[in-house]
Amino acid sequence: MSSEKTEAIILRVVPFSESSVVLTMLTRDFGKISALAKGAYRPKSAFEGAIDLGCHCRVVFIKKSSDALDLLTEAKLERRFRAANKSLQRLYVGYYILELLRELTESDEPHPDLFELALWTLRKIDSADLNPGDLLDLVATFELQALKHLGHAPSMDVCATCGKTVGEMPSVPFGMISGGVLCLACRPISRQVVMLSKQTRDAMRQRINGPPGLPAVNQTQKSQRNGELRGVLRRYMSHHVGHELKMPRLIDGIGGG
């Protein structure tokens, strides 16, 4: 079996033995993989402190042909995730990004654009001058663009049930199960429906269709919007993965809204 080389983000670290760990990684070229890192905790190991949560590293691994774990043979650190040095809020947001990457992706399915989005987001959390409202904007951008890269972005302009265009209104129905906005005819036959304000609908559109970034919005508007947006996206992401996610309850109070 030949060795494979790629870039990776460390999503999970689980002890396997006294000195070894099992890693879940999102890789640029091979998607999500799980690999055994033998002797990871031994002095002078081949992993150079590169396998902590959120680390961006270059790895060499042996791909197993069966259901057995892949074998990690080398990891070289490119960038360490240091959000804990900034604030607990940033650390929670970073861990939520890692949780989403684990839950949203299937093993061995590469998504290079999602990998780049994850790298950009983790760097932004780590290094940018962000206030609490900016952090929540960053979370919403990642959630919606990650769904877009995976082909599951919610429909914001046409009815998710019948495909009819849903025009601009002060508020529109949004179906958690249907996967987007609903026309008035489909609203009564849909379950798990919430109402979206025009402001929140516009914010979701902007994050799905635009490049990653933080839009120029005053803090009052941001606080009002983030309250509704977080509520909708928390429910939508949990529905999409099929269970309640762990980290949102720790980050939902960040913006005070």
What is the per-residue pLDDT for 255? 60
Q: What is the pLDDT of residues 124-147, one digit of tens each?
A: 999 878 888 889 999 999 999 999
Cβ atoms within 10 Å of 154's Cβ, excluding its own: 23
Q: Residues 6 or more apart from 167 whose CB is under 8 A from it?
A: none
Average of per-residue pLDDT across 84-105: 94
- Residue 124's SS3 state is helix
CATH code for the domain defined by 3-79: 2.40.50.140
Closest CA to 27 of 53, 63, 56: 56
Task: Indicate the pTM of the whole model.
Answer: 0.91
Q: Name the residue ranges covered by the structural domains of the chain.
A: 3-79, 83-251
Tens digit of each residue's pLDDT (9 = 90 or more) over 165-205: 999 999 999 999 999 999 999 999 999 999 999 999 999 99
Q: Is the pLDDT of residue 66 over 80?
A: no
Task: Output the pLDDT for position 185.
Answer: 97
Cβ atoms within 10 Å of 59's Cβ, excluding its own: 27
Chain centroid to Cα 234, Å, comes to 12
Token duo for residue 101: 């990457």
Q: Contact, 197 vs 173, CB < 8 A? A: no
Reply yes or no on whether the pLDDT at 217 is more than 70: no
Please tell me the predicted confidence (pLDDT) of residue 150.
Answer: 96
Q: Token digits for 87? A: 């604030």
Q: Which pLDDT band holds residue 93 (cuts at 50, 70, 90)?
A: very high
DSSP collapsed to 3 states, 25-84: EEECCCEEEEEEECCCCCCCCCCCCCCCCCCEEEEEEECCCCCCCEEEEEEEEEECCCHH
Asked if the model's pLDDT at residue 110 lies above 80, the reply is: yes
Higher pLDDT, 83 or 103: 103
DSSP state of 7: E
Which one-letter DSSP state was computed for residue 130?
-
Predicted pLDDT at 124: 94
Q: What pLDDT is stored for residue 216 in this prediction? A: 47
Please provide the average confidence, as pLDDT, over all residues in the chain. 90
For residue 100, which of 70, 73, 121, 72 has the smallest C-alpha distance? 121
Domain 83-251 sits in CATH 2.60.120.10: no
**Whether residue 214 has pLDDT greater than 90:** no
